[in-house]
Structure 1
């Protein structure tokens, strides 16, 4: 297994040891998991460390704007049927965090790695993946990733001629355009609820036609490929036309789509759909997402929604009115500092819910809700919102750093 047949160089071993020591010191100081700072130190000492750590692993890369952390977790569970897995399960998805994760898995057979969209091409170069899963591309962190098509182009150039099997969502035109440069693509019909980033053709700029679930460009002929795997209700259809039931503890259509893509990836490594899907049932929550926690005598369900596509999927999960809903939005570095995306979210879907607004940018959100004719109250913090909320389980929806703040407050 890894680390045995091709041991790390002395320099690489030193880098791993130093990185782990720095990570441990960071944890001891209460500054989080330490994986990012540990990885940075290790890569400074050996810039080729990521490639060295990956060389004896069968690597799967997972990238997308939405769903990559959950899908990484589902694929990791499925592949454990075939061998030991190392994964960056907590979502540290840039090179430093990925290096840190792989440094902890010397006996692993598989590396299942979530990768930030901007770093996919570089990480693919370093890790020589056997499989790459591409789920979706949508607007996110507008100050950092200005245009989804630029990301798609970055993927397309970075994956051109790649030896990896690319498992790609054929319902997202941007993903299809990005994946089409690869010689070996498995298309999955995973669906696409949010369509506002794909009205113009990524290939020629023409207007996309969208009859039913199909799509094509009327000008250049770029069109939806025929899938060999598909999500169909509560089942995954495999290339032979067999329907396999999806039983997940994770809620919602988006997670069924993640499971369909994960089953297609598992099959690349010889894990049959039935085995893969049964193993996915073990996943109850992913880095706190979907957890139901007790706080101030109430049940709170914690839901993460980072961008318009994520908010749209999350609204479809919540219990019907009059379930109270707490919304929390920050705009720190990790969220993106531009909150104009709030205007792309259809908050009329919350009509009938008592809404409570918290977070650094609660006033931005309040203006947006006012325009959407929603009834809401602005609160100072989670404690006050919970006290004011009417009885029953509370749905709490937050973007990235707001979600981390909530987890710390509720002790999750």
Structure 2
């Protein structure tokens, strides 16, 4: 680990070794990266292993419903300007996956850790982070995720009194309410396109007023804090009022917002905005997201959208009609088995695009598109859908396991 003393006890070293062995066996058997099963085994052998691995690292935790993996990657790139970084870059964001990732970073100075929303408070206790980035909260995995206000309450209670600097989105009332229990908060005006989970006040239940970009509760006075960092078009405005250009290879407004939050986090670690934002330009794709791949003579751009907020942002990225769009939705355990969220997505935004529908729940999606008066074809699989599209660019939008299926099929 960074520093002079070795924090690992003999038991912890055994746990790390066993975890790596199990992960390697899992990879050899073709069962994925092995990080989760390896971490589970390691934590069984030493339940305090995550805390031990983190104790010589300056950690930043990143949590949100959307944008965690990308923002984690952007922050990791920025902090490499100041020293070696260990990160769970592939998105295994529960304690087992995080433990596995940290076990692989013996010379690291910084730990940049994506954390599933439900595990944030526990991981914060174990890792004693220097900084926590909170981006947004919205509905996701309806069959098992707690209602969004309950998640915000978990964050609020779990972060109360935390010594960490909390970098939080001032435009999301749920995030603001959750972060307000922390003594040290840096507010970022990162925007909020999806507002349907934030019409009632998280503090008192009153109706939220939303004039322009502002918001406040007319009943209890809970209101948007004054941000010290802001996304403004293609620039990040820092606390001194200086505007720094955002140059990203990743598309869309949501990624500019992720970059703004990442620049604020980097500044906590002493990396100036210009250096941080230049580093972020290196990121071309994140775990396959935004990659353009050649398949059957077409250029497929792979886009991940897991919930209504994500679909809304993704629709704003795609090339204009008549670019064909392939939509793929599954409802396996990692996605959440309840697909009723499809009715929260405004599919009229796809008007004019030829649409092909694939995935385990293609018929659920077909019914939704029918109601939205969209022209579409239901296809057996990706190969058939691509054959129906003309040569050139195709936008492919998929939820979580459907996205993994696509990556395997196109060899990405």
User: Normalising by the residue count of structure 2, what TM-score does the alignment of the two structures yield?
Assistant: 0.99
Task: Check conservation: 1:3, 1:106, Cα contact below 8 A.
Answer: no
Task: Check conservation: 1:174, 1:202, Cα contact below 8 A.
Answer: yes
Which aligned segments of 4 or more residues in structure 1 are displaced greater than 3 angstroms?
Answer: none
Instruction: Using the TM superposition, give the Cα deviation of residue 144 of structure 1 relative to its aligned residue in structure 2, in angstroms.
Output: 1.1
Task: Check conservation: 2:234, 2:245, Cα contact below 8 A.
Answer: yes
Instruction: Using the TM superposition, give the Cα deviation of residue 407 of structure 1 relative to its aligned residue in structure 2, in angstroms.
Output: 0.1
Q: Distance in 1 between matches of 2:56 and 2:82?
A: 16
Instruction: Using the TM superposition, give the Cα deviation of residue 111 of structure 1 relative to its aligned residue in structure 2, in angstroms.
Output: 0.1
Task: Check conservation: 1:324, 1:392, Cα contact below 8 A.
Answer: no
Q: Please list the CA deviations of residues 44-101 of structure 1 after superposition, one character each: whole Å capped at 9, or x if unmatched.
A: 0000000000000000000000000000000000000000000000000000000000
Alignment-derived partner of residue 113 in structure 2: 113
SS in 2 for 1:311: helix
Instruction: Using the TM superposition, give the Cα deviation of residue 129 of structure 1 relative to its aligned residue in structure 2, in angstroms.
Output: 0.3
Q: Distance in 2 between matches of 1:45 and 1:238?
A: 45
Instruction: Using the TM superposition, give the Cα deviation of residue 4 of structure 1 relative to its aligned residue in structure 2, in angstroms.
Output: 4.0
Instruction: Using the TM superposition, give the Cα deviation of residue 369 of structure 1 relative to its aligned residue in structure 2, in angstroms.
Output: 0.1
Task: Check conservation: 2:324, 2:353, Cα contact below 8 A.
Answer: yes
Task: Check conservation: 2:204, 2:220, Cα contact below 8 A.
Answer: yes
Alignment-derived partner of residue 280 in structure 1: 280
Q: Distance in 2 between matches of 1:127 and 1:181?
A: 19
Q: Please list the CA deviations of residues 109-136 of structure 1 after superposition, one character each: whole Å capped at 9, or x if unmatched.
A: 0000000000000000000000000000
Instruction: Using the TM superposition, give the Cα deviation of residue 7 of structure 1 relative to its aligned residue in structure 2, in angstroms.
Output: 3.3
Alignment-derived partner of residue 306 in structure 2: 306
Alignment-derived partner of residue 362 in structure 2: 362
Instruction: Using the TM superposition, give the Cα deviation of residue 216 of structure 1 relative to its aligned residue in structure 2, in angstroms.
Output: 0.1
Q: Distance in 1 between matches of 2:217 and 2:281?
A: 39
Q: Distance in 2 between matches of 1:3 and 1:375?
A: 61
SS in 2 for 1:195: coil
Instruction: Using the TM superposition, give the Cα deviation of residue 175 of structure 1 relative to its aligned residue in structure 2, in angstroms.
Output: 0.1
Q: Distance in 2 between matches of 1:313 and 1:37?
A: 33
Task: Check conservation: 2:326, 2:385, Cα contact below 8 A.
Answer: yes
Task: Check conservation: 2:297, 2:391, Cα contact below 8 A.
Answer: no
Alignment-derived partner of residue 349 in structure 1: 349
Task: Check conservation: 2:228, 2:238, Cα contact below 8 A.
Answer: yes
Instruction: Using the TM superposition, give the Cα deviation of residue 373 of structure 1 relative to its aligned residue in structure 2, in angstroms.
Output: 0.1
Task: Check conservation: 1:69, 1:114, Cα contact below 8 A.
Answer: yes
Any unmatched runs of 5+ in structure 1?
Answer: none
Instruction: Using the TM superposition, give the Cα deviation of residue 389 of structure 1 relative to its aligned residue in structure 2, in angstroms.
Output: 1.1
Q: Distance in 2 between matches of 1:76 and 1:381?
A: 36
Q: Please list the CA deviations of residues 196-240 of structure 1 after superposition, one character each: whole Å capped at 9, or x if unmatched.
A: 000000000000000000000000000000000000000000000
Q: Distance in 1 between matches of 2:305 and 2:134?
A: 19
Task: Check conservation: 2:7, 2:56, Cα contact below 8 A.
Answer: no
Task: Check conservation: 2:7, 2:52, Cα contact below 8 A.
Answer: no
Q: Distance in 1 between matches of 2:302 and 2:4?
A: 42
Q: Distance in 1 between matches of 2:308 and 2:7?
A: 45
SS in 2 for 1:327: strand
SS in 1 for 2:166: strand
Q: Please list the CA deviations of residues 333-365 of structure 1 after superposition, one character each: whole Å capped at 9, or x if unmatched.
A: 000000000000000000000000000000000
Task: Check conservation: 1:35, 1:101, Cα contact below 8 A.
Answer: yes
Instruction: Using the TM superposition, give the Cα deviation of residue 392 of structure 1 relative to its aligned residue in structure 2, in angstroms.
Output: 2.2
Task: Check conservation: 1:19, 1:42, Cα contact below 8 A.
Answer: yes
CA 1:3/1:30 → structure 2, altered by over 3 Å: closer, same or farther?
farther
CA 1:4/1:19 → structure 2, altered by over 3 Å: closer, same or farther?
farther
SS in 1 for 2:93: coil
Task: Check conservation: 2:7, 2:55, Cα contact below 8 A.
Answer: no
How many residues are matched?
A: 412
Q: Which moved more, 1:115-124 or 1:4-13?
A: 4-13
Q: Distance in 2 between matches of 1:311 and 1:270?
A: 35
Q: Distance in 2 between matches of 1:7 and 1:117?
A: 28
Instruction: Using the TM superposition, give the Cα deviation of residue 305 of structure 1 relative to its aligned residue in structure 2, in angstroms.
Output: 0.1
Instruction: Using the TM superposition, give the Cα deviation of residue 3 of structure 1 relative to its aligned residue in structure 2, in angstroms.
Output: 6.8
Alignment-derived partner of residue 176 in structure 2: 176
SS in 2 for 1:192: coil
Q: Distance in 2 between matches of 1:3 and 1:270?
A: 19
SS in 2 for 1:326: strand
SS in 1 for 2:392: coil
Q: Distance in 2 between matches of 1:5 and 1:396?
A: 49
SS in 2 for 1:393: strand
Instruction: Using the TM superposition, give the Cα deviation of residue 390 of structure 1 relative to its aligned residue in structure 2, in angstroms.
Output: 2.5
Instruction: Using the TM superposition, give the Cα deviation of residue 297 of structure 1 relative to its aligned residue in structure 2, in angstroms.
Output: 1.1
Q: Please list the CA deviations of residues 18-66 of structure 1 after superposition, one character each: whole Å capped at 9, or x if unmatched.
A: 0000000000000000000000000000000000000000000000000
